[in-house]
Amino acid sequence: MPRRLELIEGSQTECLQRVQCLLPAAGVVFWLTGSAIKKAHTLLGQECDALVFDAHSGFDVNTFAAVSGTLRGGGTLFLLIPPLDEWAAFPDPDYQRFLPYPYTPEQVEGRFLRRLVWLLARRSGFSPTTLLFDEKAVGLKPNLQQAVIQTILQSEVPVVLTADRGRGKSAALGMAASQLQASGKRVLLTAPSRATVVSVFKHADNPPLFFAPDELLQTLPAGDVLLVDEAAAIPVPLLLKMLEHYPRCVFSTTLHGYEGSGRGFALRFQKQLDALAPDWMAVRLQQPIRWAENDPLEHFINQALLLDAESAVVPFDYAQGTNYHCLNRDELTQNEPLLRQLFGLLITAHYQTRPSDLRQMLDAPDISIHVLEQSGLIVAVALLSREGGLDAELTAAIHAGTRRPHGHPIPQTLTFHAKIPTAAELICERVMRIAVHPDRQNHGWGAHLLEHLLGFATRSGADYVGVSYAMTPELLRFWERAGFVLARVGFRQDTASGSRSVVQVKALSARAHALFKGLEQ
């Protein structure tokens, strides 16, 4: 049976009272309200018959997407919201997550919620408690999970396992690990964090040994089979090192999910696999485990949070020029095809792009969106965040280590860590993301877009442009060629990537040149 979404509108008290009357008499109910929303990760891997999500407590879209996967087929997700026509203006507590000092929730324009209200109103009819979806879903196909498990058990070559959320990928890994160990094989498991493999252990009666990626490659423990879960979140060079030492590998990743995307991983990694292990196998779990196929709730969440957005198919015409635009976010919110294309490119380029990034991109007052387009298609995109411009008193407190206002990461890093006392007084445009379409990479278009970003920053009165990223030789060369200088190298290596974070800056104003003189030499 299809799952359903039901809106309950009104004040928080009114909504909580009304939903009590609508809950099923029997079955498991998960409540996500108040502080319980922050503990939602403890529910993942479990199942419920009804789910109550209180958006008055903060509409955490990552959590909303994640917990929707706990709802069984035939269940109802009750979404408690302010009156629909007032929701976009609601000072959502979730805004505190991305609002930099000194902005307040009341100053947010609510573009993300405006778009969501439009999507809900388009589907919901007029009654606030009408079930949004009542169309029939296609019934379940024969379970293919066992076939995937058999592939993992029998294959002597690398296997790439992909699936959307709710397809039983982690369960398949857990059951395969148990059967492999029961047959005498030593199974190792790695993932970006132990928290991401809770479901694997839940389904493994004979659990594998877990190692963080950096620990695995440093110690190289003996093992017959290596399972790599959420492989998209691990840099390709590390995956290749794992494959060199453990020829029998299973690389598993989520294609569309709240935890990031596996499509960029597919583009980057599978080309390498073709060269190293041309006989590798690809398997995909397409059948949902907890709900029917073509589930209307899953479709709506994918649409609302752009979990399934993809970059455009760009014709191969390198000779044709590009046009640069700084996008108007109000217009972007109303242009669904353009928004899907833009966010799809960000998803493809960076595995950690999540629904919360969509909300921040549309709503954060300090962000601007810049694109290169060719024949109406986006071929490169960048997000800038305006930081700094803090008063002298606050800057001095940051330098002394007694204040740490929300946001402004690069100005604060320069002021406190790089010991440049007045750096936070200067205005910075931070490059949050810069991405080029996979079909247009290595043709200088990233550098071309960066030139436009520098021009925008100069025209808007910024003193300098900054960037922070996990260092690789290729990225370091890219930014150095553009005239950026190192301001700080982190002490600790990231456990997933094995890389150190770096901060680089490029001075634009005379004041910034004077302040960064020591860095530039």
pLDDT tens readout for residues 6-41: 999 999 999 999 999 999 888 999 999 988 888 887
Own/partner long-range contacts of 423-426 (Cβ < 8 Å, ≥24 apart) = 423/388, 423/395, 423/515, 424/388, 424/390, 424/394, 424/395, 424/398, 424/399, 425/388, 425/389, 425/390, 425/391, 425/392, 425/395, 426/388, 426/389, 426/463, 426/464, 426/509, 426/511, 426/512, 426/515
Sign of CA dihedral 342, 344, 350, 356: positive
User: Which residue stretches of 373-444 are H helix?
Assistant: 392-400, 409-412
Residue 311 domain-assigned (yes or no): no
Confidence band of 166 (pLDDT split at 50, 70, 90): confident
Cα torsion 396, 397, 398, 399 to 10°: value is 50
Find which of 163-177, 380-394, 478-492 is predicted with most confidence, using mean pLDDT. 380-394
510 and 476 co-located in one domain = yes
Hey, which residues does 50 pair with through a beta bridge? 29, 76
Tens of pLDDT along 328-375? 999 999 999 999 999 999 988 776 788 999 999 999 999 999 999 988
Round to the nearest angstrom and report the end-to-end CA distance of the chain.
67
> How, if at all, do strands 71-81 and 48-54 pair?
parallel
The Cα-based distances of 431 to 197, 366, 385, 453, 473 in angstroms read 32, 12, 7, 9, 18
Confidence band of 128 (pLDDT split at 50, 70, 90): very low
What is the helix (H) or strand (E) element at residue 180, kind and residue range? helix 169-182
Q: Assess contact for 94 and 60: CB atoms under 8 A.
A: yes
Cβ contacts of residue 393 below 8 Å, gap of 6+?
none
Domain limit, last residue, from 137, 166, 189? 137
DSSP code, position 370: E
Task: Write down the pLDDT at residue 392.
Answer: 97
* Both structure tokens of 331: 């217009």
Task: Write down the pLDDT at residue 134.
Answer: 36
Look up the CATH number of the domain holding residue 444. 3.40.630.30
For 290-311, b/e burial (b = at least 16 CB within 10 A) is bbbeebbbbebbbebbbbbbbb
The Cα-based distances of 433 to 67, 368, 382 in angstroms read 28, 11, 5
Confidence band of 171 (pLDDT split at 50, 70, 90): confident
Domain limit, last residue, from 285, 304, 338? 285
Tens of pLDDT along 191-249? 988 877 878 888 888 889 999 999 999 999 999 999 999 887 788 888 999 999 998 99
153 and 272 co-located in one domain = yes
411 and 438 co-located in one domain = yes
Task: Write down the pLDDT at residue 225.
Answer: 93
Count of CB atoms situated within 10 Å of the CB of 34? 12
234 and 340 co-located in one domain = no
Residue 303 domain-assigned (yes or no): no
DSSP code, position 192: S
121 and 211 co-located in one domain = no
The SS3 of residue 22 is coil
* Both structure tokens of 71: 């709802």
DSSP code, position 98: T
Annotated binding site: 145, 290, 434-436, 474, 481
Q: Which of 8-12, 80-84, 198-202, 387-391 has the lowest mean pLDDT?
A: 198-202
Task: Write down the pLDDT at residue 44.
Answer: 73
* Amino acid occupying residue 427: I
The upper half-sphere exposure of residue 265, i.e. CA atoms within 13 Å in the direction of its Cβ, equals: 27
Look up the CATH number of the domain holding residue 112. 3.40.50.11040
Hey, which residues does 282 pair with through a beta bridge? 160
362 and 232 co-located in one domain = no
Annotated binding site for ATP: 145, 290
Mean of all residue pLDDT scores within the chain: 88
Residue 306 domain-assigned (yes or no): no
> How, if at all, do strands 159-163 and 249-254 pair?
parallel
Q: Which of 113-122, 179-188, 223-232, 496-505 has the lowest mean pLDDT?
A: 496-505
What is the helix (H) or strand (E) element at residue 218, kind and residue range? helix 213-219
DSSP code, position 353: -
Domain limit, last residue, from 232, 262, 285? 285
Cβ contacts of residue 423 below 8 Å, gap of 6+?
388, 395, 411, 414, 415, 515
Residue 316 domain-assigned (yes or no): no
Confidence band of 137 (pLDDT split at 50, 70, 90): very low
81 and 44 co-located in one domain = yes
Task: Please state, in angstroms and rounded to a whole number, the distance separating the CA atoms of residues 197 and 59.
Answer: 25
Cis, bond preceding 221 (omega within 30 deg of 0): no
Q: Assess contact for 128 and 7: CB atoms under 8 A.
A: yes
Structural domain containing residue 59: 4-137
Annotated binding site for acetyl-CoA: 434-436, 474, 481
The Cα-based distances of 510 to 172, 430, 431, 461 in angstroms read 59, 18, 21, 12
Q: Assess contact for 3 and 77: CB atoms under 8 A.
A: yes
Q: How far is CA 220 from the centre of its chain?
A: 30
Task: Write down the pLDDT at residue 127.
Answer: 36
Residue 442 domain-assigned (yes or no): yes
128 and 154 co-located in one domain = no
What is the helix (H) or strand (E) element at residue 455, kind and residue range? helix 445-459
Tens of pLDDT along 247-267? 899 998 877 654 555 566 666
* More confident site: 353 or 515: 515
Length of the chain: 521
Does the pLDDT of residue 457 top 50, yes or no?
yes
Mean pLDDT calculated for residue range 484-501: 80
Write down the pTM of the prediction.
Answer: 0.85
Overall number of domains in the chain: 3
For 319-336, b/e burial (b = at least 16 CB within 10 A) is eeebebeebebeebbeee
